[in-house]
């Protein structure tokens, strides 16, 4: 029973961390006018997924908490990989596989199409860095946070389970 309570605490921490990460991203976007590129938006998906899994793990009794924590750990590792990939694009280590900053290459069939494309706002380029702290962009912080949260997830699933089992013996 102790393991279940401990895992719910870890799930709660991961839930609050994910909500905090998304709140930070949306605050930067809407309050400080930092326009996200498509890769920035993709990096939010793991946090939304973790919110769903953590909420289900906390409030649905029939769910395996250890398995849920392991799934969340994998989600965070995938999020870290995506953030690292985006950092590589920002640093020009490689080109983005997405159409970051391109207009999509729509065929122009009339002057009106051409005119509307000229007036349309171009999407933000994925290699453009708008904000840094100590010379590091948000993608670096997201990579580190995702790796740290993955470690918390796996720690909760494996180490705390063993610790609780040892205490009850």
> Distance (Å, rounded) from C-alpha 55 to C-alpha 16?
10
pTM strictly above 0.85: no
Q: How many CB atoms lie within 10 A of CB 120?
A: 10
Backbone angles phi, psi at 12, to 5 degrees: -65, -40
Beta strands in the chain (DSSP E): 132-133, 136-137
* pLDDT tens column, 27-36: 999 999 999 9
* pLDDT tens column, 105-160: 556 677 777 666 666 666 677 888 888 889 889 999 999 999 999 999 999 888 76
In the predicted model, what is the mean pLDDT of residues 15-25? 97
Tokens representing 154?
């796996």
> Using 50, 70 and 90 to split pLDDT, how confident is the model at 164?
low
Write down the domain spans for the chain. Answer: 2-94+126-168
Inter-helix orientation angle 138-154/65-90, to 10°: 160
Matching CATH number, 2-94+126-168, of 2.60.120, 1.10.3470, 3.40.50, 1.20.1550: 1.20.1550
> Distance (Å, rounded) from C-alpha 100 to C-alpha 149?
28
For residue 1, pLDDT over 50 is answered with: no
Element containing residue 76 per DSSP (H, E): helix 65-90
């Amino acid at each position: 029973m102790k393991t279940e309570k401990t895992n719910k605490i870890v799930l709660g921490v991961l839930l609050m961390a994910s909500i905090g990460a998304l709140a930070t991203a949306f605050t930067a976007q809407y309050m400080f006018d930092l326009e996200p590129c498509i890769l920035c938006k993709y990096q939010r998906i793991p946090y939304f997924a973790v919110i769903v899994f953590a909420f289900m793990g906390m409030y649905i009794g029939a769910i395996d908490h250890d398995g849920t924590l392991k799934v969340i750990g994998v989600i965070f590792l995938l999020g870290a990989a995506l953030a690292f990939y985006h950092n590589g694009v920002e640093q020009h280590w490689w080109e983005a596989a997405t159409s970051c900053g391109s207009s999509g290459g729509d065929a122009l069939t009339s002057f009106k199409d051409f005119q509307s494309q000229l007036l349309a706002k171009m999407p933000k380029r994925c290699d453009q860095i708008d904000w840094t702290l100590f010379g590091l962009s948000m993608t670096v912080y997201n990579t580190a946070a995702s790796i740290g949260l993955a470690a918390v997830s796996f720690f909760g699933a494996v180490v705390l389970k063993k610790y609780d089992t040892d205490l009850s013996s």
